[in-house]
C-alpha cells in the first residue's frame, strides 16, 4: 500500500467508524434498548416455541405439595427417612470430629448464614409480599403512573433487574399452567381483581397480570465446584438470598411505577418453565434450566406483573443434542437420580414430576435423600456440566458456538472437556484461601 492508498483507505475507514458512531448515538429509544439490554451470543437462535414440547392434552397446573420437598415422607417412606436422618446425624458428628474439610463448623456456619436474606421471604410473606412494603406509588406522589411502549418498558425493567442483581432477564406471556394449582393448602386462582390478595382458602392472582419477568442469578462457581460439601451448599444458599433481594427490589420498583407486581422465587409456579418461555435457556438432562452463558450455574426467580412488556422468544442453542451425548451430570450423580436415556420423553418418573411436557425426568426422592446422606446437600450435576464455565478464555465461547452450530462435534467437545479436567471437585480447604469476588461471582461474565 502506498502513501496515497493509505490516506484513501485509512481516512475512508475512519469516516465509516465516525459516521457509524454518530448514527448510533442519535438512535431512538428502541435502538438504545437493543444496545444496552443483554443480548444472547450470536450462536443462540430464537425460536417460536420451546424445543421440548408440551402435550396440550395433559399439561396442567401442578400442586406444589406433590414436589419432593412437600411429599418426601410419602415418596421415601417414614421409616426409611428416620433411618436416613439418623445416619446423617451420625455422619455429621463424625465429620466434625475428623475436621473433614468442607464439613467443619465454619463451612456449615457459612452455608446456613448464606440463607439469611432468603429466609426473610416466603409465598406472599416478607420480602415476597404481594403488596407494597414501603415504596410510594405514583398516586401518593401525585403523578400519573408510568406510561411507555412495551419495548421501552421492557428495557426499563431489564435495566432495573440488572441493577438489583439479575444476570439475565427475559419476559414471557404468563402461561397459567406454569402456576401451581395449590400451595400452602390454598387454591391459587386467577380472578378479575385490582390487586393480588390472600384469604383463608385462596391465593388470588389478578387476571390482568399477564406478564412474567424471568431472571437468572449467578451462583458462585468456586463454591459449587466444591460439591458435595457445605461450601457448595453456601453457593446455592447465597444464590437464593440474592434472588430474594432481586425479586423484592424489582417488585417494589414496578409498584413504584404504578403497577401490580408479584415476586416469587421457587414458590407459586415453575420458574424453569417460565424462564424457558422467556428465552433464558433450554431444559437440560437434569430437567433444569441451562443458560447458554452460564450453564446451570444459576438460580431462577420471577415477578408477575400487569405492566405491558415486549415479549422475548424461547431459544435454541443446540443443548438438547449436546445433552443426548454428554450424560456428565448423570455419571456424576451419587444418587443416580438423573436419567441416562438417549432421548427426552413424556414419561415421568413419579408423582413429583409434572407430566405433559417432554424432558429427561429425574428421580427426585433419590436426589433429596442424597442431600441428607452427604449431610450438606449436593450440586454435582451443576458443577460438572460442560456449559458451566468462567469465561476467562475464548476457547469456551468458541466451543459453545461450535456446539450450537455443529452438533456432530458434541461428543468430541465433551471428551475434551473431561480430558482438560473441567468439572473435577475443587478443594473446600482451598476455598477459604482464595481471593473471591464480591458474592463470589464475576458479574462481568457473559457481558463482553
Partner 1 sequence: MKDTNGYWTFKIRKKPLYIWILRLAWVLWLVFWAEVALGSKAELETRAFFISLSVLFVSLFVGLMWWWIGLNKHKKQSK
- Chain positions contacting partner 1, by CB under 8 A: 222, 389-390, 392-395, 419-422, 424, 426, 434
Residue 254 vs 382, nearer CB to partner 1: 382
* 437 touches 238 (CB < 8 A): no
CA-nearest of 349, 221, 360 to 294 is 221
Please identify, using beta-carbon distances, which residue of 57 and 433 lies nearer to partner 1: 433
For residue 187, the SS3 value is strand
Give the residue among 162, 264, 288 at the shortest CA–CA distance from 217: 162
Q: Give me the least distance between CB of 409 and partner 1, in Å please.
A: 17
Question: What is the rounded CA–CA span in Å between residue 360 and residue 288?
Answer: 9
Instruction: Report how far apart, in Å, the C-alpha atoms of 171 and of each of 153, 155, 225, 270 are.
Output: 11, 11, 30, 15
Q: CA 330, 276, 168, 434: dihedral to nearest 10 degrees?
A: -10
Smallest distance, partner 1 to C-beta of residue 394, A: 6
Please report how close the Cβ of residue 274 comes to partner 1 at its closest, in angstroms: 31
Select 314 or 423, whichever has its Cβ closest to partner 1.
Answer: 423
Which one, 142 or 421, has the nearer CB to partner 1? 421
Cell reading at 33: 434498548
> Contact 165/238 with Cβ under 8 angstroms?
no
**Which is nearer to partner 1, 13 or 434 (by Cβ)?**
434
User: Smallest distance from the beta carbon of 72 to partner 1, in angstroms?
Assistant: 36
- Compute the least distance from the CB of residue 440 to partner 1, in Å: 13
Phi, psi angle pair for 12, to nearest 5°: -60, -45
- Rounded Cα distance, 334 and 330, in Å: 9
Q: Which residues pair with 232 in a beta bridge?
A: none
Please report how close the Cβ of residue 439 comes to partner 1 at its closest, in angstroms. Answer: 17
For partner 1, the closer of residues 99 and 419 by Cβ is 419
Amino acid at each position: 500500500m502506498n502513501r496515497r492508498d493509505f490516506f484513501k483507505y485509512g481516512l475512508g475507514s475512519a469516516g465509516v467508524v465516525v459516521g457509524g458512531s454518530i448514527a448510533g448515538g442519535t438512535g431512538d429509544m428502541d435502538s438504545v434498548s437493543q444496545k444496552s439490554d443483554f443480548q444472547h451470543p450470536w450462536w443462540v437462535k430464537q425460536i417460536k416455541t420451546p424445543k421440548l414440547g408440551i402435550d396440550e392434552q395433559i399439561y396442567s397446573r401442578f400442586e406444589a405439595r406433590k414436589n419432593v420437598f412437600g411429599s418426601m415422607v410419602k415418596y421415601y417412606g417414614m421409616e426409611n427417612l428416620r433411618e436416613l436422618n439418623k445416619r446423617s446425624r451420625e455422619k455429621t458428628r463424625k465429620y466434625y470430629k475428623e475436621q473433614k474439610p468442607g464439613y467443619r463448623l465454619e463451612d456449615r456456619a457459612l452455608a446456613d448464614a448464606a440463607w439469611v436474606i432468603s429466609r426473610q421471604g416466603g409465598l406472599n410473606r416478607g420480602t415476597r409480599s404481594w403488596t407494597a412494603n414501603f415504596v410510594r406509588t405514583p398516586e401518593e406522589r401525585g403523578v400519573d403512573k408510568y406510561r411507555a411502549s412495551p419495548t421501552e418498558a421492557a428495557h426499563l425493567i431489564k435495566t432495573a433487574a440488572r441493577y438489583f442483581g439479575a444476570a439475565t432477564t427475559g419476559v414471557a406471556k404468563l402461561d397459567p399452567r406454569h402456576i401451581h394449582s395449590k400451595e400452602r393448602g390454598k387454591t391459587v386462582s386467577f380472578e378479575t381483581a385490582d390487586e393480588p390478595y390472600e384469604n383463608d382458602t385462596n391465593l388470588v392472582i389478578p387476571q390482568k397480570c399477564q406478564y412474567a419477568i424471568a431472571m437468572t442469578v449467578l451462583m458462585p462457581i468456586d463454591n459449587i465446584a466444591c460439591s458435595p460439601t457445605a461450601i457448595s451448599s453456601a453457593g446455592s444458599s447465597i444464590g437464593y438470598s440474592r434472588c430474594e433481594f432481586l425479586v423484592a427490589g424489582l417488585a417494589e420498583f414496578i409498584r413504584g411505577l404504578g403497577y401490580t407486581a408479584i415476586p416469587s422465587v421457587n414458590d407459586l409456579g415453575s420458574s424453569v418453565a417460565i424462564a424457558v418461555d422467556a428465552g433464558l435457556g433450554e431444559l437440560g438432562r437434569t430437567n433444569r434450566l441451562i443458560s447458554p452463558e452460564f450453564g446451570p450455574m444459576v438460580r431462577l426467580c420471577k415477578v408477575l406483573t400487569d405492566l405491558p412488556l415486549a415479549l422475548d422468544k424461547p431459544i435454541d442453542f443446540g443443548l438438547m443434542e449436546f445433552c443426548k451425548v454428554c450424560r456428565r451430570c448423570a455419571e456424576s450423580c451419587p444418587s443416580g437420580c438423573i436419567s441416562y436415556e438417549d432421548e427426552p420423553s413424556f414419561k415421568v418418573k413419579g408423582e413429583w414430576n409434572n407430566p405433559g411436557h417432554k424432558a429427561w425426568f429425574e428421580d427426585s426422592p433419590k436426589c433429596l435423600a442424597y442431600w441428607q446422606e452427604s449431610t450438606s446437600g449436593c450440586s454435582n450435576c451443576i458443577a460438572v456440566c460442560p456449559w458451566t464455565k468462567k469465561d476467562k478464555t475464548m476457547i469456551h465461547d468458541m466451543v459453545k458456538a461450535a456446539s450450537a452450530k455443529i452438533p456432530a462435534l458434541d461428543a468430541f467437545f465433551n471428551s475434551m472437556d473431561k480430558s482438560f479436567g473441567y468439572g473435577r471437585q475443587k478443594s473446600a480447604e482451598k476455598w477459604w484461601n482464595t481471593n473471591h469476588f464480591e458474592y463470589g461471582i464475576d458479574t462481568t461474565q457473559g457481558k463482553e
